[in-house]
Homo-oligomer: A and B are copies of this chain.
Amino acid sequence: MSPNVRVGIAGLGRLGKRHAQQLGRRTPGALLVAACSPVAAELDWARDSLGVQTLHQDFDSFVRDPQLDAIVLVTPTTLHAEQAIAALEAGKHVFIEKPLSLDVATCEQVEAVARRHPDRVAMVGFVRRFDPSYAQARADIEAGAIGQPFLVRSQTCDMNDPQGFFVKFAPTSGGIYMDCSVHDIDLARWMLGNPRATRAFASGTIAMHPGLADCGDVDNGLAIVEFDGGARAVFYASRTMAHGHETSTEVIGTAGMLSVGVGAHRDRLQLRDAGGLRHRVLADFFERFSEAFQREMDTFVAACRGEGKLQLTLSDSTEATRIGQAITRSLRSGQPELVQ
């Protein structure tokens, strides 16, 4: 057996706690030995519930902690790039929660640093690639199950939050396409075989959260992306679903179509009663992708141990940002925008 990987995690918000629990309890080969947060209560939580021994309030000391082999970043998006660079330069493997950056040039800087540390693992958390159904879809396409894929339809639709937490978050989220559709963009590229995107058109509406208007954002957005060679993608992102979280993707090819996630069953249970036949729907992406989060971290840790080669690269993250930015510009201009 390869030696265990000694991991430190920075950022212990909602998603950070999930990653920490995964690393501390259920990731074979990982030892969660350090945590970093400016929030004392979060560090207390890491110590008390997961037994994490070394607690840092300061990222600089954390990133240089000599016991650490790998760093997991679940910090605010604006910090991702510089912290990833610092981790790589300190000789650590690094996992960065998505997005790497809202800015293409910044993504490219991180890529450049990573190229100078080819023996370090650098991975962005496009978690859907680790979902068994999406992984199987990709494998089926490679095996020719649908012929030549040429069209992707993909949606990320969140259950409505009546408090509209995301409205406050809107000024820094990069907008609905950068926040939600970026996953669909990455999936579309992956399923289509990474063609080059050329143009994007977006159109959206505010159905329930007027507060979004101030920062030019919408709560329901559509977008069409054109690729070299003729492939097309159409995305739908929504913050206002009544029924739950429904993330689904269709890939259409010359000999068939694959779909993932339609219906968003929470489990294998159906109820028949006076209202008809129904099933519960997933509440949020945590529920939808719980297994994928586990496999994602398994994959990262395995890569740190030298087992397996990552298919997902920093460049994938850069390209998703590039397309997402063109879509976002189109939402504002009302015109198709070049992807550049």
Contacts and interface: CB of A to CB of B under 8 A. Distances in A.
A318 interface: no
A171 interface: no
Interface string A122-138: 00000000011100110
Contacts of A224: 201, 203, 222, 224
A226 interface: yes
A300 interface: no
B234 A49 contact: no
A255 interface: yes
A151 interface: yes
A43 to B, nearest CB: 16
A41 interface: no
Contacts of A279: 276-278
Given A146-B242, A278-B279, 7 more contacts: A136-B267, A238-B252, A241-B257, A241-B272, A258-B269, A266-B276, A276-B280
Interface stretch (A7-15, A54-62, A205-213): A205-213
A334 interface: yes
Contacts of A150: 205, 207, 220
Interface of A: 1, 25-26, 28, 48-49, 51, 131-133, 136-137, 140, 145-148, 150-151, 153, 201, 203-208, 220, 222, 224, 226, 230-232, 234, 236, 238, 240-244, 246, 252-281, 334-336
Nearest to A200: B203
Contacts of A335: 335-336
Contact of A204 (B232, B244, B258): B232
A274 B243 contact: yes
B1 A267 contact: no
B232 A258 contact: no
Top 5 closest pairs, chain A to chain B, by CB: A278-B278, A256-B273, A243-B272, A133-B268, A133-B267
Contacts of A145: 271, 273
A46 to B, nearest CB: 12
Nearest to A25: B28
30 contacts: A1-B51, A26-B26, A145-B271, A146-B271, A201-B201, A201-B203, A203-B226, A222-B232, A234-B236, A238-B252, A242-B256, A242-B272, A243-B257, A243-B272, A243-B273, A243-B274, A243-B275, A243-B277, A244-B272, A244-B276, A258-B270, A260-B268, A260-B270, A264-B277, A275-B275, A275-B278, A276-B278, A276-B279, A277-B279, A335-B335
Given A201-B224, A276-B244, A254 B207 contact: yes
Given A232-B205, A238-B252, A269 B136 contact: yes
B271 A256 contact: yes
Most buried by B among A145, A259, A336: A259
A222 B253 CA distance: 15
Contacts of A280: 136, 276
Contacts of A133: 267-269
